[in-house]
Each structure stands twice: as structure tokens, then as C-alpha cells.
Amino acid sequence: MRLQRLVQRPRAVLYGVYLDDGSQLPRVLAKVRRGWPGDDGAERGGTRPRLASGSLPPSESTALEYAGLRAIETMFGGADPGFSVVRPLHHLVHEDTILMEYVDAPTLRDRLLAESRLSPQHVLSRHRSTEEAWWKAGAWLHRFQREMPRQELPARQPTRHDVVHQFLAYDEFLTTRLGRRALGDVARRGAALAEQLLPERLPSAVGHGDYAPRNMFLDRAGRLTVFDPMPRWVVPRHEDLSRLLVAIRLLGAQLHTRGAAYSRGGLDRRERAVIEGYRAEDRLWLPELRCHQLLITLDKWSAAVDSAPAGWRGRLRAASVEWASGFLRRESRRLLELIESDSARTT
């Protein structure tokens, strides 16, 4: 048996476990968690408003992820040809380690990057095949939300008041850091629309924790496999769907080229596929979804603004944040217009 480090993250190292059986691929993946250097579980970074605060110690994150993988295996490990699972094999409690099946497939993020107009593979790629994958990502989430047991999980942002409050917190933070002109009125308008449109108590579900294309594999047979779960909270049910939609819109390449990497039409198509996949299972009122999408966009904007260090790196970063802010403001306005037009049409 041989171990090889495959991926290094600030809070985890992933090793491939190779068996001496002539296979070129690892048989097993070992994900070993570790804490932030000097972490005491308190808030990290600057003082920006966050949707979720406080990080968990590695032992708790590992146990939650293992439980999440097992629950996903129960839900999606059956005969449905559209989905597959990462089979969890063992939880090494004292080592904060999960052993799981190794999956030989690109992530949806890899696929999305290859489809960028700036990618050399773009010209070669004849694939416009991921729409079905995006549809599946919507359908997957709906089933997860319906079937995942809530147990005694704590709730995050359960009421309209919480969401309005959060919009105002982003407004204050971003105005202080960027100035009123750079932010405009997008966060305040978001607060007003949330106040007007959302129900007092928001429909909720267990959150995946990081429902993003980088946590989904798409194999050659077109099966979608969602991994890296952190089912720590009960959240507004539109939150994970919004995270996925925002991740599609705000890829780094798109931000840094202010929208040149992906065509608006292509992004709209992917977004519609996700929503239709989710909706195939249920009714969905779009203005409520768009409100959350705007909230998550402001959260990402705040994170980008907050991470500027001191010195020349900080100045460089500040310049790139200023550059990206124009794009984020446009994206926020697009969402506001969608909320206004959809709610005018459906109320």
C-alpha cells in the first residue's frame, strides 16, 4: 500500500491510497482534517458580516461530514442512473480522518472552466452537454432537502427579519469599505424588497453546507455525485440553491474579466436548468429565490472586500476588488430587476 498527497487545503489534506495491484488510480481517498493555525473556534478574518459564524473543531467537522456522506449514500446510492455517490468507508475518529471511495471524474467546476471562452479547451470542446448536469444539480438538492433528517440541528436566518437585518449589515459594511458611490443602493433595495416579499418565517431545510460546482463530480456516464457535505444547520431552503446559482455567475475568471469569460446567454441557460431541475419536484416562487441570490452575492462581495491584507499585496488586492466591484454591482442590479419584474408579474 502507498499513500500520495493529492490535494492540500488550509483545513484538510487529501491522500490517495494506492494498492499494490497494478492499478494507476488510488482505490481509496483519505481526507485528513486539521484546525486553522492557532484556531480557537472563534471568528476568523476581519469583521465582515457573515451568514454563518464560528468554525468547528476538526473532530466535529469530520464527524459531520462522515454522517453527511452516509446520509447521501442512503438517499442516492440506489438504482437511480442519474446519480452516484462517494461511498464513505471508515471514520478514523482519533485521526480526524475519513476514508472514502476514490472517484475518477472531473468536478462540475472543472467542466465549467473548460467551457470558458478564455479556455484553450473552449475551441476544441464540442460539449454543450452540461445542461443536463445542471438540471440534475437542481433535482439532487430538492431530494436532499426533502429526505435529509433534521435531527436537532440549529436554525440559521429562520425569519424575514433575519434576512432584512443581514442585507442592512452588508449595506453598512460595504458602504464603509467601498463608499456609497461604489456600492450604490443595491443592498438597501434588497432589504426593502425582502421586507415586502418574504414570508415572516422562511421555509427551511437542512443545508448541504457548500453546495457549489467544485463539490460535484460529473462522470463519463453523466452521473452527478455530490460530496463534501457539512450538514450543520437548518437554513432557508433557497439558500443552497442560491449558492449554486451565485457560484455559476461569480467564477473567478468571470469576475476578473468583468463578464468576458462566459456569455450571458450560456449562464442564463445553466441557471434555468438548475431551477427547472429543482422545480420539477416542487413549486418555487422566483422572487424569494432571487432575494437569497442577492444576499449571497453581497456576502461574496463582502468576503472579497474583507480579505485585503496590508502592503503592496493589499494595494494590488484593493485594485482588483475595485475592478470586480463594478461587475458585482451590475450583477446585483440584474437580480434586483429580476425580483421586481417577477414579483410584478406574479402578484
> Which positions lie near ligand ATP, rule CB under 6 A?
7, 9, 12, 14, 29, 31, 86, 100-103, 107, 210, 214-215, 227-228
In the bound state with Mg ion, the residue whose beta carbon lies nearer, of 235 and 289, is: 235
Q: How many chain residues interact with Mg ion (CB under 5 A)? A: 2
In the bound state with ligand ATP, the residue whose beta carbon lies nearer, of 85 and 174, is: 85
In the bound state with ligand ATP, the residue whose beta carbon lies nearer, of 103 and 197, is: 103
**Is residue 228 a contact residue for Mg ion (CB under 5 A)?**
yes
In the bound state with ligand ATP, the residue whose beta carbon lies nearer, of 99 and 308, is: 99
What's the closest the beta carbon of residue 15 comes to ligand ATP, in angstroms?
10
In the bound state with ligand ATP, the residue whose beta carbon lies nearer, of 102 and 233, is: 102
What's the closest the beta carbon of residue 37 comes to Mg ion, in angstroms?
20
- Cα four-point dihedral sign 86, 72, 65, 98: negative
In the bound state with ligand ATP, the residue whose beta carbon lies nearer, of 29 and 294, is: 29
Q: Decide: 143 and 281 in contact? Cβ < 8 Å.
A: yes
**Is residue 65 a contact residue for Mg ion (CB under 5 A)?**
no
Q: Other CB atoms closer than 10 Å to residue 114's CB: what's the count?
A: 16
What's the closest the beta carbon of residue 228 comes to Mg ion, in angstroms?
4
What's the closest the beta carbon of residue 52 comes to ligand ATP, in angstroms?
14
**Is residue 62 a contact residue for Mg ion (CB under 5 A)?**
no
- Number of residues in the chain: 347
What's the closest the beta carbon of residue 6 comes to Mg ion, in angstroms?
13
Q: Looking at this protein, which amino acid is placed at residue 221?
A: A
Which region among 95-103, 156-164, 208-216, 316-324 touches Mg ion (by CB under 5 A)? 208-216
Hey, which bits of the chain come out as E strands?
A: 2-9, 12-18, 28-33, 88-92, 97-101, 204-206, 216-218, 224-226, 234-236
> What gap in Å lies between CA 65 and CA 299, rounded to an integer?
24
What's the closest the beta carbon of residue 246 comes to ligand ATP, in angstroms?
15
Number of Cα atoms under 13 Å in the Cβ half of residue 27 = 9
In the bound state with ligand ATP, the residue whose beta carbon lies nearer, of 103 and 187, is: 103
> What gap in Å lies between CA 213 and CA 201, rounded to an integer?
29
What's the closest the beta carbon of residue 336 comes to ligand ATP, in angstroms?
30
Which of these, 136, 165, 143, lies nearest to 237 by C-alpha position?
143
Which of these, 76, 94, 39, lies nearest to 227 by C-alpha position?
76
Which region among 106-114, 161-169, 213-221, 261-269 touches Mg ion (by CB under 5 A)? 213-221
* Residue 281 binds which of ligand ATP, Mg ion, none (CB < 5-8 A, kind-dependent): none
> What gap in Å lies between CA 15 and CA 26, rounded to an integer?
9
What's the closest the beta carbon of residue 87 comes to ligand ATP, in angstroms?
9
137 is written with which cell numbers?
444539480
> What gap in Å lies between CA 131 and CA 150, rounded to an integer?
31
Residue 163 parent element (H or E):
helix 160-178
Among 62, 145, 204, 215, binds Mg ion (CB under 5 A): 215
In the bound state with ligand ATP, the residue whose beta carbon lies nearer, of 64 and 284, is: 64
* Residue 100 binds which of Mg ion, ligand ATP, none (CB < 5-8 A, kind-dependent): ligand ATP
Which of these, 68, 56, 58, lies nearest to 32 by C-alpha position?
58
Which of these, 253, 255, 254, 262, lies nearest to 301 by C-alpha position?
255
